[in-house]
Structure 1
Amino acid sequence: MEWKLLSSEYLHKEPWLTLRRDRCALADGRVVDPYYVLEYPDWANGMAVTEDNKVILVRQYRHAIGKVLLEIPGGVIDTTDASPEIAMKRELLEETGYAFSEIYNLGAVAPNPSTSTNLTHMFLALGGKKVQEQQLDDNEEIEVILADVAEVEQMLKDHQFLQSLHVSCLFYGLQKYRELKAAVLPK
């Protein structure tokens, strides 16, 4: 079922948009030409919970769809980040001002594997403590919101999160959060 890459040509190459045109051979010999691929760096996002069990949400404007969205913290994994976990810690600190005592890897999902090359690495961060003010990029304006776990669950049920990668992370994060809480409850 795998395709064989016959040739590849970059049509546009900038830090935030890299587009290439591939020529591919299918297993049965047919040729697909052109097949367009968007190259993006990997991303990290996280369900972040403070030491008093509040989930940190962020609200920010998303220009491509022209809406202010309720989301979870996250962003691009920079080439200087040693790992996705390091990138997540950096993004949490920059966007929220919180540092975390525990970080759990929840796996990765592919945002759009038919046309995009990247993965989104998901995390659950616990024990968050406010240690600094936000350190936002020039084009970022992010409002930090704290919510109870039950409120976040209800927000999910009410479809208040539009960003599908964040919905996925919250789904896995809530599962792991419940698992960890159940492990410390008296038997």
Structure 2
Amino acid sequence: MADKLVFDGWLKVYNRIINNKTYDILKDHDAVAAVITDEFNDILLVKQFRPALMEETLEIPAGTIDKDDEDPASCMIRELKEEAQLTLKQDDLKYVLSYKPNVGFSNSKMIIFYSKILKDDIKEKIINDEDVYEVLWMNFDEFKQKINYGEIIDVKTLIAYFILKTYYKLL
């Protein structure tokens, strides 16, 4: 039996019947995120407002792949330019991992990249993104403390902590 569309917006919700039980399936977009560190091993974060929470969050830069023909690295380069005024080339991004953040109701995936840059590579402080309020660098002690105190709650940003700790031995 085919899925039945029950909501048609930027996100789409379908009903899927399996063994006489109806499941809500969310069709959303794949996304990318980047763990960016500088020569001092500080991490790049963005402060943005999240309407679902009605609060600001600190997160690693990220965005959705909202064009069918856009590859993940190109999307990440575009998002870094929009959110942080950072210009990178594809060779600057290293693929780290991908995961499915919502396996209970969605098939979308998140792809995480890593790049080490010079702090001065971000020249402009004017942000060209409607969601991001501020771009900031944070040292790892403060990053870890904000996680421990529940001030950083975003899953991809929490995963960034473990990427840096495990793969790059920075924490």
**Match among 129, 142, 151 for residue 151 of structure 1:** 142
Closer/same/farther in 2, CA of residues 86 and 144 from structure 1, 3 Å limit: same
Cross-structure match for 1:40: 28
Choose the corresponding residue for 1:98, options 83, 86, 90: 86
**Is 1:13 the counterpart of 2:1 in the alignment?**
no
How many residue pairs end up in the alignment?
166
**How far does residue 7 in structure 1 lie from its aligned partner after superposition?**
2.4
Maintained 8 Å contact 2:83/2:132: no
Unmatched runs of 5 consecutive residues or more in structure 2: none
Distance 1:150 1:18, change over 3 A: same
The SS at the match of 2:158 is helix
2: CA distance, partners of 1:174 / 1:89: 24
Distance 1:51 1:83, change over 3 A: farther
Q: How does 1:110-125 map to 2 (within 5 A)?
A: 110-125=100-115
Q: If each structure's strand is expressed as a fraction of its own residues, which one has the higher value?
A: 1
Deviations 1:89-139 (A, max 9, x none): 1111110111246212111111111101201111112115115442213xx
TM normalised by structure 1 equals: 0.78
Higher RCO (C-alpha 8 Å, min separation 6) = 2
Give the letter for the 2:36 counterpart.
A
Corresponding position: 1:170 with 2:161: yes
Listed one character per residue, the Cα deviations across residues 35-63 of structure 1 (whole Å, up to 9, x for unaligned) are 11010010111111234533111111111
Q: Supply the AA of the counterpart residue of 2:8.
A: K
Structure 1 residue 84 displacement after superposition: 1.1
Q: What does 1:59-138 correspond to in 2, within 5 Å?
A: 59-79=47-67, 82-100=70-88, 102-128=92-118, 129-132=121-124, 133-137=126-130
Preserved CA contact (<8 Å) 2:147 2:153: no
Runs of 4+ in 1 over 4 A off after TM superposition: none
**Percent identity over the alignment?**
22
